């Protein structure tokens, strides 16, 4: 008796598994020794992309369960592939969105006191400033006034009272009288005075 005959398959399989009855035109399962119809496609693997085995239901499950795309790839090749995955295959917008979302989440946690600040703004010094800059594209003060504020260690959110207070504090700190006659910081004091005059001239004080 020829066990490879279609008649045999029909009798053997058809009785227990109606779905797997071999059609004369359909390819057989590629699993050696299996006589059932190869109804399911499975990728042949790396280097043979676009090529498929054909399996019966049971054997496609078995194949998929043991399928390893990286089988036979040595460590260097695997590392190179993974690197490529990181920089090439992954859409960059997704990375950007995730990183940005992570930073936002981190900011939130920092604000809630649940976590330490991130590295890019170690003390969250500029968080408020950034929010302010984002809120209005136009700078509130001119370039010279901005430089003057920076000299005083202030940003453009400083009002007249804040500028006056800061100015007094700095003059006290850098004035020779307050430093036992030490005039080495006179240059700094001059810069502070100039900055204050600049702010006064544009009506900020
Ligand atoms: Zn099979």
Q: How far, in Å, from the CA of 99 to the mean position of ligand 1? A: 46
Q: How many whole angstroms separate alpha carbon 137 and alpha carbon 10?
A: 77
Q: How far, in Å, from the CA of 5 to the mean position of ligand 1? A: 16
Nearest-10 Cα torsion for 82, 84, 86, 89: -120
Q: How far, in Å, from the CA of 73 to the mean position of ligand 1? A: 27
pLDDT given at position 160: 93
Q: What domains can be seen in the chain, in order of their start residue?
A: 15-90 (no CATH), 99-135 (no CATH), 143-201 (1.10.287.110)
By C-alpha distance, which of 64, 40, 43 is closest to 54? 40
pLDDT given at position 113: 52
Q: How many whole angstroms separate alpha carbon 46 and alpha carbon 159?
A: 66
Q: How far, in Å, from the CA of 60 to the mean position of ligand 1? A: 7
- From first to last of its 205 residues, the chain has per-residue pLDDT tens of 444 445 444 444 444 444 445 555 668 899 888 999 999 988 887 778 888 889 999 998 888 877 766 666 666 766 666 666 565 554 444 444 455 555 555 555 555 555 554 445 555 555 555 555 555 555 678 888 999 999 999 988 899 999 999 998 888 888 877 778 877 777 888 888 899 999 999 899 9
Q: How far, in Å, from the CA of 1 to the mean position of ligand 1? A: 22
pLDDT given at position 119: 47
Q: Is the pTM of this model over 0.95?
A: no
Q: How many whole angstroms separate alpha carbon 198 and alpha carbon 203?
A: 9
By C-alpha distance, which of 187, 205, 185 is closest to 197? 205
pLDDT given at position 183: 78
Q: How far apart are the first and last CA of the chain?
A: 109
DSSP tally for the chain: helices H, then strands E = 8, 2
In angstroms, what CA-CA distances link 93 with 51, 67, 90, 101, 138? Answer: 31, 31, 9, 12, 28
pLDDT given at position 164: 92
How many other CB atoms are there within 10 angstroms of residue 141's CB atom?
16
Q: How many whole angstroms separate alpha carbon 165 and alpha carbon 152?
A: 10
Q: How far, in Å, from the CA of 61 to the mean position of ligand 1? A: 10
């Amino acid at each position: 008796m020829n066990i490879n005959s279609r008649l045999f398959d029909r009798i053997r399989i058809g009785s227990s598994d109606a779905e797997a009855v071999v059609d004369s035109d359909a390819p057989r399962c590629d699993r050696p020794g299996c006589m059932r119809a190869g109804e399911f496609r499975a990728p042949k693997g790396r280097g043979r992309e676009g090529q498929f085995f054909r399996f019966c239901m049971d054997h496609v499950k078995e194949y998929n369960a043991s399928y390893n795309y990286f089988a036979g790839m040595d460590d260097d090749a695997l590392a190179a592939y993974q690197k490529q995955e990181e920089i090439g295959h992954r859409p960059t917008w997704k990375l950007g969105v995730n990183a940005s979302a992570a930073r936002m989440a981190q900011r939130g946690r920092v604000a809630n006191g649940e976590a330490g600040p991130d590295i890019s703004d170690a003390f969250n010094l500029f968080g408020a400033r950034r929010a302010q800059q984002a809120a209005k594209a136009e700078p509130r003060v001119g370039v010279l006034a901005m430089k003057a504020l920076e000299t005083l260690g202030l940003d453009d959110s400083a009002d007249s009272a804040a500028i006056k207070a800061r100015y007094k504090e700095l003059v006290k700190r850098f004035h020779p009288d307050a430093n036992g006659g030490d005039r080495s910081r006179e240059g700094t004091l001059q810069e502070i005075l100039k900055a204050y005059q600049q702010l006064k001239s544009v009506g900020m004080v």
